[in-house]
A and B are shown apart, each in its own frame.
Chain A
Amino acid sequence: MLQQWGWFNLGLFILNKFIATLSKGSWRIYRYHFVAQPVPAEALLPPRRGRNIEIRLIDEQDEVIGQFPRPAEAIKERFRQGAKCLVAFKEGQFVGFLWLLLGSYQEDEVRALYTPLPKERTAWDFDVYVEPGSRLGFTFLRLWDEANHFLKHHDIAWSCSRISAFNAGSLSAHARLGTVRLGSAIFFYAGRWQVTLASLSPYFHLSSYPGSFPEFRLDTRKLGKT
């Protein structure tokens, strides 16, 4: 764990567990890395791989949502923001999903707004989930190939996202997709207060109610063309 996370993240993780237990969950710490990944010209999977996995773009009425391991309210809010959901099926069974948003994303774990820039060339991706029994297979890559196809169709060159610093698996998976780090932020919750410290603008933010949040403008223009 230390090798994967480093001392700082491991210390934060332990501190978070400690204060969350002491405060019965009202005090929490989150640390996110903001990353951007290029939309590749080539598919990630060889053509003959993953053909038995069907990917479908669903709407908020689709019954498969009932199988999502996420609260119904969170799913509703994502569609309200205009997010697109790609769902993977293997032999008709739900095996995973991936969310995309062409525009700003209001975070549902902490108080923050993420705005990928330039808007016409950059998207936001979030919550990539694969059922435990399918994690060794090609579902993850099929989802991404279909997501990239969708993004290219909309002339998107980069997709930004945030990854928990405590999720080593997600960090390494994104790294293999060619992600570039844009910065990071620590969110410290204490009751109704949220203190944000970030390596990118606005660097510091103090919030006392849900309508008050920092906006992170994640600019991919300096990353060049893909």
Chain B
Amino acid sequence: MQHLEEVRNILSDVLSLGERKNQLKADSILLGNIPELDSMAVVNVITALEDHFGITVDDDEISAETFETLGSLTRFVEQKLVG
């Protein structure tokens, strides 16, 4: 996952994770584990990912599975970049 670091940085910036950013690994659980990640934050994360990677994410593509871990979110971004 070559974009893992970029996704981690975006997540950290949007959610203001501070030092907690360094604990985020590919298999780190996001939903339920990061209190800041609520529905309002999801909008901001998606918008930041769209702006940074030049991708477009439809409403129906946003799911709990996508946001389950940092790795699943990165895989989602990489699939969008390929597609």
Which residues of A are at the interface with B, using a C-beta cutoff of 8 A? 4, 44-46, 49-52, 130, 135-141, 168-169, 172-173, 176-177
Interface of A is mostly: loop
A46 and B43 in contact, given A51-B59, A52-B59, A136-B63 (Cβ under 8 angstroms): yes
Name which residue of chain B comes closest to A169, CB basis: B38
CB atoms of A136 and B47 under 8 A apart: no
Chain B residues with Cβ below 8 Å from A50 are 59
The CA of A141 and the CA of B39, in the complex, are separated in Å by 8
A137 and B62 in contact, given A46-B47, A172-B35 (Cβ under 8 angstroms): yes
Name which residue of chain A comes closest to B60, CB basis: A52
Q: Does B40 contact A (CB under 8 A)?
A: yes
Q: Does B64 contact A (CB under 8 A)?
A: yes
Name which residue of chain B comes closest to A173, CB basis: B38
Name which residue of chain B comes closest to A53, CB basis: B59
The CA of A45 and the CA of B44, in the complex, are separated in Å by 10
Q: Of residues 1 to 60 in B, which have CB atoms within 8 Å of A's CB atoms?
A: 31, 35-36, 38-43, 47, 59-60
**A4, A45, A173, A177: the one within 8 Å of B43 (CB):** A45
The CA of A45 and the CA of B43, in the complex, are separated in Å by 8
Question: Nearest Cβ distance between residue B76 and chain A, in whole angstroms?
Answer: 13
Question: Nearest Cβ distance between residue B18 and chain A, in whole angstroms?
Answer: 13
Listed residue (A51, A136, A168) with the most chain B CB atoms within 10 angstroms of its CB:
A136
The CA of A198 and the CA of B62, in the complex, are separated in Å by 42
CB atoms of B62 and A140 under 8 A apart: no
Name which residue of chain B comes closest to A136, CB basis: B64
The CA of A135 and the CA of B39, in the complex, are separated in Å by 7
The CA of A140 and the CA of B41, in the complex, are separated in Å by 12
**B31, B35, B36, B59: the one within 8 Å of A137 (CB):** B59
Known: A140-B40, A141-B43. 20 other contacts (CB 8 A): A44-B43, A45-B43, A46-B47, A49-B43, A49-B59, A50-B59, A51-B59, A52-B59, A135-B39, A136-B42, A136-B67, A137-B39, A137-B42, A137-B59, A137-B62, A141-B40, A168-B35, A169-B35, A172-B35, A173-B39
Chain B residues with Cβ below 8 Å from A44 are 40, 43
